[in-house]
Amino acid sequence: MLRRALGWLGNPWLQIALNAIIVTISELCLKLGARDTAYLAHSWSWTGYTGLASIWTWLGIVFVVLSLVSWLYVLRLVPLSIAFPLSNVVHILVPLSCWIFLGELISPRRWAGIALVLIGLFVVAKPFARIEEKL
């Protein structure tokens, strides 16, 4: 039972999806952290280190670390030239969640871009599905 559950969790598709969700959460946290600290002027502030003054940045870092672990697991199983294009599903998830949670606007052109990314994902994912069937 446990092995079956672990086997299911080890599915590369699921891991790529899970990774994209973790990345999206980390991006939102980092944006909130950056927003909170944008007023902190310092000659080295272009390095972004002033962002560390916000708890959101630290929470973002936790999710970045989690996403790294899950991403390394994906890389063990899937070629980079397939895994990386698929990981770009975050370019759909991030604008959508910026719209929903941060109140940023999505212009018609941006919606068109999101649609194009979606088509690209399907084109890449199709041969990947065939490879997986062979495994």
Partner 1 sequence: MNSWKFVLIFSALITFVAGQLLFKRAMETSHSHGFGKQFAVWFVPGIVSMTVSFFLTLGLLQHLELSYVYPFQGLSVIIISVAATFLLKERLTLQLALGALLISAGVVLVSLS
Question: Given the rule CB under 8 A, which residues bind partner 1?
Answer: 27-28, 30-31, 33-34, 37-38, 45-51, 57, 64, 68, 71-72, 75-76, 79-82, 84-85, 88, 91, 94-95, 98, 102, 104, 106-107, 109-110, 112-127
Query: At closest approach, how far in Å is the CB of 42 from partner 1?
Result: 11
Q: What is the CA radius of gyration of the chain?
A: 18
Instruction: Find tokens 């052109």 and name the residue.
Output: 109
* DSSP character at residue 100: I
Q: Determine the distance from the C-alpha atom of residue 45 to the mean position of all C-alpha atoms in its chain, rounded to a whole number.
A: 25
Minimum CB separation of residue 84 from partner 1 in Å reads: 5
| The residue to which tokens 């991006």 are assigned | 27
What are the CA-CA distances from residue 42 to residues 32, 53, 55, 65, 85 (Å)? 19, 13, 19, 27, 37
Q: Which two tokens stand for residue 122?
A: 């399907």
In this complex, which beta carbon is closest to partner 1, that of residue 1 or of residue 107? Answer: 107
* Nearest distance in Å: CB 17, partner 1: 16
Which CB atom, from 5 or from 133, has the smaller least distance to partner 1?
133
Q: Which is nearer to partner 1, 4 or 134 (CB)?
A: 134
Q: Which is nearer to partner 1, 9 or 112 (CB)?
A: 112
